[in-house]
């Protein structure tokens, strides 16, 4: 996760204004035909989250510090990092690389198999936006810990193969906690509530999505575990947010309809 998420949003203010209904009101903008929603493209025009920054949980306050240098836990992190390098060239390595997607509207398609449907943003616009806005909430909650602890990523400490070429910003951002893991787990918790009959598969996929970060060599195992804590906190905070709850009801119906028509 780039630590400069907020800065990128500011840098793209002009574009965001052009997509006012997406980035400001939190609703997909209508196209000229008013038949299909228009979504964001990436971080630059990404919609904001639901939570107010001053009232949101702060990961620097509730997460324990990352493993201390030389501790048994840090040693175990290193052992797992080295061991997972052997997965290069395997299907799991390829899956971990694919799991790097997080900011696009179609990123939740990682749950296609678990849900038993194809995730098509245009067919589920409120669900797409709800899951997208959760990324903004993740940044609000995790950034203080990312910046405060600033744990170096495994491929920076001990260069070795990663499942995708890391961009420069990645090596310059904190490893603890894992943002991908946090969002993947938060998504899994939300989707499992919307589709309880598929909860086991959804939650298993959410766990695997986080483990992909360790397999890729961009996070340690303890970063992933901390990320799941953050993901649970995101969902707990959103449960008390009226706007999220209103969107949740609409999004859940969209998902039910999509599942009905796919049978």
pLDDT tens digits for range 47-95: 999 999 999 999 999 999 999 999 999 999 999 999 999 999 999 999 9
Question: How far is residue 208 CA from its own chain's centroid?
Answer: 13
Supply the DSSP symbol for 47.
Answer: P
pLDDT digits (tens, 9 = 90+) for 158-186: 999 999 999 999 999 999 999 999 999 99
pLDDT for 22 equals 37
Query: Pick the residue with more confidence: 260 or 27?
Result: 260
pLDDT for 36 equals 63
User: What pTM was estimated for this model as a whole?
Assistant: 0.86
Binning pLDDT at 50, 70 and 90, where does residue 13 land?
very low
pLDDT digits (tens, 9 = 90+) for 198-212: 999 999 999 999 999
pLDDT for 35 equals 58
Q: What is the mean pLDDT of residues 91-109?
A: 96
Residues in the chain: 263
Binning pLDDT at 50, 70 and 90, where does residue 44 land?
confident
The mean of the pLDDT values for the chain is: 89
Place of tokens 């949740």: 248
Provide the annotated active-site residues: 180, 213, 219, 223
Phi, psi (degrees; rounded to nearest 5) at 64: -70, 160
DSSP codes of every residue in 159-205: ----SS---HHHHTS--SS-HHHHHHHHHHHHHHHH-GGGHHHHHHH
Q: Are 174 and 3 in contact (CB under 8 A)?
A: yes
CATH architecture of 50-261: Up-down Bundle (1.20)
Q: What is the mean pLDDT of residues 242-250?
A: 98
d(C-alpha 174, C-alpha 9), whole Å? 19
Q: Are 163 and 96 in contact (CB under 8 A)?
A: yes
Binning pLDDT at 50, 70 and 90, where does residue 37 land?
confident
pLDDT for 47 equals 93
Angle of helix 179-194 versus helix 221-239 axis, rounded to 10: 50
Q: What is the mean pLDDT of residues 98-124?
A: 96
Q: Reply yes or no on whether the pLDDT at 157 is more than 70.
A: yes
């Amino acid at each position: 996760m780039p630590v400069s998420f907020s800065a990128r949003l500011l840098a793209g203010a002009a574009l965001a204004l052009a997509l006012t209904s997406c980035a400001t009101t939190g609703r997909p903008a209508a196209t000229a035909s008013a038949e299909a929603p228009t979504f964001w493209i990436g971080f630059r025009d990404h919609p904001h989250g639901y939570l107010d920054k001053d009232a949101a949980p702060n990961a620097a306050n509730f997460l324990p510090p990352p493993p201390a240098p030389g501790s048994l836990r840090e040693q175990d992190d290193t052992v797992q990092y080295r061991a997972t390098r052997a997965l290069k060239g395997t299907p799991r390595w390829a899956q971990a690389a694919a799991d790097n997607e997080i900011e696009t509207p179609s990123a939740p398609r990682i749950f296609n198999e678990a849900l038993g449907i194809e995730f098509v943003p245009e067919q589920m616009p409120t669900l797409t936006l709800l899951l997208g806005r959760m990324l903004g909430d993740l940044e609000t909650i995790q950034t203080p810990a990312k910046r405060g602890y600033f744990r170096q990523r495994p491929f920076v400490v001990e260069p070795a193969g990663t499942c995708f070429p890391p961009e420069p910003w990645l090596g310059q951002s904190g490893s603890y906690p894992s943002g991908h893991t946090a969002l993947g787990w938060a998504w899994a918790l939300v989707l499992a509530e919307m589709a309880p009959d598929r909860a086991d598969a959804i939650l298993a996929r959410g766990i695997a999505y986080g483990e992909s970060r360790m397999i890729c060599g961009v996070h340690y195992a303890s970063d992933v575990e901390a990320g799941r804590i953050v993901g649970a906190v995101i969902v707990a905070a959103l449960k008390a947010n009226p706007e999220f709850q209103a969107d949740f009801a609409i999004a859940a119906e969209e998902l039910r309809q999509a599942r009905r028509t796919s049978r």
